[in-house]
Structures are given as C-alpha cells and as structure tokens.
Structure 1
Amino acid sequence: MKRKDVFFTGLMLFALFFGAGNLIFPPYLGMEAGKAVWPAIFGFVVTGVSLPILSVAAIALAKDGVQSIGNYVHPLFSLCFSITVYLAIGPFFGIPRGASVTYEMGIKPFFNGNGGALSLLLFTIIFFAIVYWLSLNPSKLVDRIGEILTPILLLSIAVLCVAGIIRLQNPLQTPAEKYASAPFFKGFMEGYLTMDTIAALAFGIVVVNALKDRGVHQQSAMVKATIQAGLIAGTGLALVYIATALLGAKMSINGPFANGGDLLSNAAALLFGSGGKLLLGVIVALACLTTCIGLTAACAQYFHEITPNISYKAYVTIITIFSLVVSNLGLNQLISLSVPVLTMIYPLAIVLVVMSFFHRFYKGSAKTYGMALLFTAVFSVYDGLNAFGVETKWLEPLLSWAPFFSVGLGWVVPAIIGAIIGFVLDNIALKQHKTA
C-alpha cells in the first residue's frame, strides 16, 4: 500500500475523531486548569488520544470489529454492548451534539447570539442533508474527508491557535478547585467527554473498510496500516488538544466563559475581529461535519450487518432523521444527558480494549473477561448514577476502599482484581475437568 494512502487514511481518521467534544473541552480545561494546564492536558491526551488509537488497533486485530471483542465475554453481552456503543456515539448523543455545536459556535454568533428554535431547525435540516448525501458512499470517505476537508480544518485550527499563543501574553491563572490537587486525573476524566475511545470501536471498522477498498486484505498488512494511520491521527489530535488548551489558559483572564465554545468564540473575535467569527465557523463546521459523516456511516454499516434485510441507505436515512430531531433539544441538554451515560460506558470500553491485547495470555478465558467487567461495572454504574443525580451516598462505605475512588477512577484496581479472580476460577475449573 502506498504511503500516500496511509497518510490520507490517517487524516480521515483524525477528522472522524475531531468533532464537537474535541473542540470545546480542551480550551475550557485550559481555562480552568491555569498553571496546572500541562498535567491536566496530559491526562486528557491519555483518554483522548492513546486509548482511542489502542481501540482502533484492537478492532484491526479482531475479525468483526467491536462485536468480535465483545464475544470474548459472551455473544449476548457483545450484541448488547455493541448496540449501546453505536447508539451512544451515534443518533442518541454523538451525531446530534455535532450538529448542535456547529450551530452554537458557527452559526449563532452571526445572529449576535439571538438565534431561536426556528433558525436551529432550519440549520439542522441543511446540516443533516449534507451528512446524508456524503454518508451514502462510505468508500469515498478517504477522498472526501482525508484529502479535502481535513487539510482545510487543520490549517484553520493552526491559524487560530498559533495567533492566540503568540499574541496573548496573559499570565496563567491559579487552577480552579477541581484542578488544584489532582490535575492529571481530572484531565483523564475530562477525556471521557470526547467519546473517542468508544467512537474508535466504530471508526476502527470504517478504517479497515477504507483500507480494503485500497487493496489491503492481508491481516498483518491491515494491522500495520491501521496502526500507522492511527499514529498520524493521534499526533494531530495531541497537537490540537495541547494548542487549544494553552489558548484556553491564556484566555482565562478575559473570562469567565460559559463553556469551551464561548471561550473560542471570544478568542476568535479578540484575535481577528469580525473575521474571527468566520474562521471559527469554518473550523467548527468542518470538525463536526466530518465526525457526523463518519459516525453516520459507521452506525449504518454496523446495523446493516446485524440486520442485512434493511439496507445501508435505509439506516443512513433513519439515523440522520432521528439525529436531526434529537439535535433540536439544544447543546446544554445533550451534554447533561450524555455525561452520565458516558461515565458508565467508558470504563467498560477501556477494560475490554486493554484486555483484548492480552487475550493470548489468559487464552481468551470468558471468566477472566467477565469478572473484570463485572467489577468494573459496579464502580462505573455508581459513578454514572452520581452523574445522573441519583442518591448513592449509602454505597460509598462499600466502594471507597478502591484507590482513585475520589477522582472517579475507582474501577481501575477492581478491574485488575476481577481479572485475576476470573483467571484463577477458570484454571480451577480446567483442572477439575481434567481430573474428572
């Protein structure tokens, strides 16, 4: 395979990843972290870059994408988990959020912030008409996104961030309370909100299919090309996250800002005047459009595979119409609904992906996978219920023993303990079977 094809596949993957959350969360993190911006953004990069690239590699190693990885646990778990992942990153949260962010940051500023429900509806109709058209032929995604849209996106982001870092000489502020004691772990948790680790479980198959369309069919060549494309995408993401976080840190003195979108809007206006609105509009539109196209294509491909009697085109139609309706709920409502769900799903996805790389070590033991995920689920469901506002204080004495519990990562050590218990139980059962 030509290096050019791998390079543009990597750019396509970058654009698929780089959507609404990737644009609005790093600058807000930078604003709140202030002097602690470096450890905070490093934690963000771990969940926002490293884990998604590992997920893409895991999909390339598997035969049938996320469903194959889930089958290590149980076919029923695989089906339920896969559907949950695709619905969460697709029509329920990921795709509508992309349209809402585009409107809030790219369109609404031209109405001086006074755009109403009708203007949002009209915009989303146009937005999803474009998404629908460009999603109908997934084999053209590399050409349309990797070779055309991504370079424009990267150039636009570079202009905004470089100008901000050079021209804004404001001193960094004292970190906000939540970044004062454990900025790395807080940044790690903020990386959940990009949805990229679970999105990678869907995008992985898009990359694999794109490489197949370019003549890559051998498993070893596929894994190598996928990892190379992932590294290209990961490098781009890390650079953009660091740059936008630094921009946010330098803009904090001009705040407060309601969210990362508000911060970037003010930064663009401060740096480029009225032309800044146009620049930011281009960045937001390209970032969110490319991600929504990729998510629509990935979801439609998956659901078509599990129900072949319904065509890919029909699923594209269903997903775009449903996403259009949900996107009109508004950005704040979508974020408030998505955070608890992501808090529950993310740890399970991380454990499943990481364990798939050590599959041979425990010979694919279903008990090892199952116990690790069970222990993880106890803590991730607790954190998710907390995020929903459900009263869970009575559970704290039972769970607070876990390291990192106070920073929302209490599931890490229990996942390891669960895997060890499952591995031991499987070996005991195997020995009993041999002696029987």
Structure 2
Amino acid sequence: MDDNDKKELSSWLQYFLVGGSVFAMHFGGSSMVWPMTWGKESGNQMFLAFLGIFITSLFLVFMGYLSLVKSNRSMLSMARQVSNKFAIILGMMVMLVLGPLFGVPRMSAAAWDAILQVSKFKPANIWPALIFSAVYYLITYWFISEKTGIVDKLGKILLPVLIVSVTVIIIKGIVNPIGPQMAPEYDINPFAYGFKSGYATAEILCALIFGDIIINGLKSKGIGKEYLNKNLKIVCVIGIALLTFTHFGHMLLGSFADSLGDLKYSALYTEVVLKLWGQVGGIIFNIALVFAALTTAVGMSAGSAELLSEISKNKVPYKKSAIFILIVSAIISTTGLTTIVEIIGPLLDIVYPAAIVMVLYYALVPNLDNKPRILSSYRVATFIALTWGIVEGIVTYGHIFNFKVDWLEKFIEKVPGASLNLSWLTIVIISAVITMLLYRNKEEASTN
C-alpha cells in the first residue's frame, strides 16, 4: 500500500458531496416524479405504502452496493460466475437498457416534455427537439469525459441545485398542503401497492453500474485500495438516506393532491408546484427536473460506457463507448418519452430478476465464491431468473405487437406471485432449492 493512500475522506463535507452524487445519479426523472404519484394514489395510507416502497426501491439499492462491497466484484464479474457467455449476454442487455435504448434517452425525453408542458411551447417540427438533444448530450459528455472527475462535478455543480429546489418544494407543500388526505385510489393492501410500485423503478440495476463511478471518485481523492469498500459503504448510506427523504417527502406532498384528478407523474408534479408557487413553481420544477434528469443521464451514460468497455475487454475504450452511447441516445430520445417507455421499457423487466438474484446472493452470503453448494444454486438461480424474464418479456411484447401467446400468459398467471409481478421469484426459489438438494445428494454419494 502507498504511504500516501488515505483511509478515509478528509471531512464529512466530502462524504456528503460524494454521497450526494450517489443520490443525484439515482434521483433522475422517475425517482423525482413517481413518488408524488404514489402518494396521491395512496392518500391517507401513504405511510404504509412507503414501507413497501422503501424495501424494493431503496433498501434493494443499498443491497446492490453492499453486494459490490462484499464480493469485491463488478456486475460483469458477478455474472461471469454463471458463465462467460451469460455475462456477455446479461452485460450487453443491461448496457443497452440503462444506456442508449432506454435509460439515458428517457431522461432527456422527460426533461424536454417538462419544458414543453411548463412553457406551453408547441414546436412545428422536430428541430427544437434535435437542438435540445444536441445541447443536452454535449453537456452530458462534458460531465463523463473523464472518469475520475464525474463524482466531483456532480457533487459541486448539480447536487446543490437539486437539493435546494427539491427541499423548497417539499417544505412548502408540507407547511401548506393543497388539500386533505383521502382514501387510497386502489383496492389492494397499501404495503403490497408500495412493494410493487417500488420494484418497478429497477434502481438496483443502476447501483450495479454506478459502483465503478463512485469507486473512481474515491480513488481520485486518494483513498487506498484497501479502504475503498469501507468508504463506498459510507457514501452509499448517505446517498440512500437522501433518496429516502425525497421519496417520503414527495409521497407526503402527493397524498394531499387528490383534488387534482387523474394527473400523474410529471404532469401531477407540475400542477402541484404551480399550486404551491404559481408560475415561479413551474420554473423551479423545470430547473429541478432538467437537473435531475441530467444527473441520472450522466450516471447511466458513464456506467454503461464503463460496462461496454469491460465487456469488450477495452477493445472499445471508455471514451469511444461514451460517445457511441450518447449519439444513439440522442437519436432514440427524439421518438418521445411515451414511445421509449412503451417499446423499450419491457427490456428492463427482462434483466431485472437476474440482477436481484445476483445482488441478494452476494450481499447475504459471506464468501460465496468459496461455498460450492451455494455457488452452484446461485448459478442456476441467476440463469433461471434471466430465462424467466425473457419468457415474461415475450408475453409483454405479444401485447404490444399483437401476436398471440395466450397459453404462455395463462401459464405465468398460475404461478404464485404473478399478481405482484413476482412469479419469477417463485421459480427462482424452487430452482435454487432443488439445485442445493441435488448438490448435497451428489456430495453424499461421492463420500460413500
């Protein structure tokens, strides 16, 4: 170890700035606007709904970072424990979904939609959207062009704007609620609603690719290799604590918004801040959403570029990977937020189960690589999770593109957990248990 290596950051302000960068990368467009809709739909049961959301949208994110810390591996390295081919397939799918096909273009499309809504601007052609995309992605490239500078730029430039604007909105909404809390809009248990809604954010995937960005940031501040994991854990706790505050605050605001009818997501958020602050609120919201979308686009672009570089064994260097991802993202973003979510969104559901399985095994099982029986069940469970995700993806795309797979859909519906989109979990648990039993029988047979 170099004598100049640090064991920890020099101050709690530095910890807050790096932890704030974790928060900023996750906050994004969806984590900013979805919680208010969850709160509106939950009404006077929002506290119970928040508990469900906390588990699947926040605690699982922490588990994602914990799996990186405990395994001392990257997401791709975890997947290679199944097989090299599996790692390449899963890695490419995650890179494409979080990068150029869905995650990154969704952020810029959401920011553009918000600008149009607040400004009431109605472009006559596609040129304004193209110009916005060009500027947006040039700024994004400036942030991600140097891997070691990303965390500093986020913490010092974008984080303060996010924290101030969001805190102002939340405090104003709590002090002067726009209406009473009403009964939930749904019929299911509020905790189950929250569990299912939080699961849909798929933030755990982001944690798996943001880890390298944060580690590079810690290295740039002189943290020694032996102390990276300890410091990664600290800054991730800070980041997720900030996310918990904003999720809860936005849900509480939304719970008072029953009078706003059927509005959801950015439309609901815009209307709430307009009610609270008038036209000034619209400006605050626009600034906050554009910056939120930019921070997550930065994280997703950098993480996806790093992943593509790792998959190609650096045959496609980081900078070239970043440029490729941003160019494709700029093109995809011009199709509009609705198209992106409807057509590409289901790919997220395909890869998400496998990511959760990887995270839970590595976060909960100490020294997994040295436990052959459990490692064997990990390999089977992760492979089955991705396979089942593909099966459910076929059904989803059958609805989108109108080809019949009724028999497959009926089969999935019969699996326990299907009503919560957790049929994959049932299949994975069964396959993992069977694998461990077979492995034990094999061990017993070999000793006899």
Report the TM-score, using the length of structure 2 for normalisation.
0.89
Residues 268-279 of structure 1: matches in 2 within 5 Å?
268-279=273-284
> Matched residues in 2 for 1:383 and 1:183: separation?
25
Q: In the TM superposition, what is the alpha-carbon distance from 1:368 to its structure 2 partner?
A: 0.5
Partner of 1:363: 371
> Matched residues in 1 for 2:117 and 2:106: separation?
18
Alignment partner of 1:351 is 2:357: yes
Equivalent of 1:406 in 397, 400, 419: 419
Q: In the TM superposition, what is the alpha-carbon distance from 1:417 to its structure 2 partner?
A: 2.2
Amino acid paired to 1:41: F
Partner of 2:212: 205
Residues 100-115 of structure 1: matches in 2 within 5 Å?
100-105=109-114, 107-115=115-123
Q: In the TM superposition, what is the alpha-carbon distance from 1:379 to its structure 2 partner?
A: 4.6
Q: In the TM superposition, what is the alpha-carbon distance from 1:165 to its structure 2 partner?
A: 2.1
> Matched residues in 1 for 2:385 and 2:151: separation?
36
Q: Deviations over 1:326-355 (max 9, x none)?
A: 011101111112432222221221111101
Alignment partner of 1:46 is 2:55: yes
Equivalent of 1:244 in 241, 245, 250: 250
Amino acid paired to 1:114: K
Seen in structure 2, the aligned counterparts of structure 1 residues 44 and 401 have a Cα distance that, compared at 3 Å, is same
Residues 132-143 of structure 1: matches in 2 within 5 Å?
132-143=141-152
Partner of 1:325: 331
Q: Is the contact between residue 178 and residue 276 of structure 2 (CA under 8 Å) also seen in structure 1?
A: no
Q: In the TM superposition, what is the alpha-carbon distance from 1:160 to its structure 2 partner?
A: 0.9
Alignment partner of 1:304 is 2:309: yes
Q: Is the contact between residue 44 and residue 181 of structure 2 (CA under 8 Å) also seen in structure 1?
A: yes
Amino acid paired to 2:111: T
Unpaired segments of 5 or more residues in structure 1?
A: none
Q: Is the contact between residue 21 and residue 195 of structure 1 (CA under 8 Å) also seen in structure 2?
A: no
Q: Is the contact between residue 166 and residue 288 of structure 2 (CA under 8 Å) also seen in structure 1?
A: yes
Residues 22-421 of structure 1: matches in 2 within 5 Å?
22-105=31-114, 107-115=115-123, 117-176=126-185, 179-219=186-226, 221-257=227-263, 259-307=264-312, 308-357=314-363, 358=365, 360=367, 363-365=371-373, 366-377=375-386, 379-388=388-397, 389=399, 391-395=404-408, 398-400=411-413, 402-421=415-434
Report the TM-score, using the length of structure 1 for normalisation.
0.92
Amino acid paired to 2:435: G
- Which piece of structure 1 moves more, 109-118 or 153-162? 109-118
> Matched residues in 2 for 1:155 and 1:123: separation?
25
Seen in structure 2, the aligned counterparts of structure 1 residues 381 and 196 have a Cα distance that, compared at 3 Å, is same
Q: Is the contact between residue 402 and residue 410 of structure 1 (CA under 8 Å) also seen in structure 2?
A: yes
Q: Deviations over 1:374-406 (max 9, x none)?
A: 443465344434433264542466445543222
Q: Is the contact between residue 178 and residue 257 of structure 2 (CA under 8 Å) also seen in structure 1?
A: no
Equivalent of 1:16 in 3, 9, 25: 25
Seen in structure 2, the aligned counterparts of structure 1 residues 66 and 377 have a Cα distance that, compared at 3 Å, is closer
Aligned residues: 430
Q: In the TM superposition, what is the alpha-carbon distance from 1:240 to its structure 2 partner?
A: 0.5
Q: Is the contact between residue 373 and residue 418 of structure 1 (CA under 8 Å) also seen in structure 2?
A: no
Partner of 2:4: none
Q: In the TM superposition, what is the alpha-carbon distance from 1:72 to its structure 2 partner?
A: 2.2
- Which piece of structure 1 moves more, 142-151 or 197-206? 142-151
Q: What's the C-alpha RMSD, in Å, of the aligned pairs?
A: 2.2
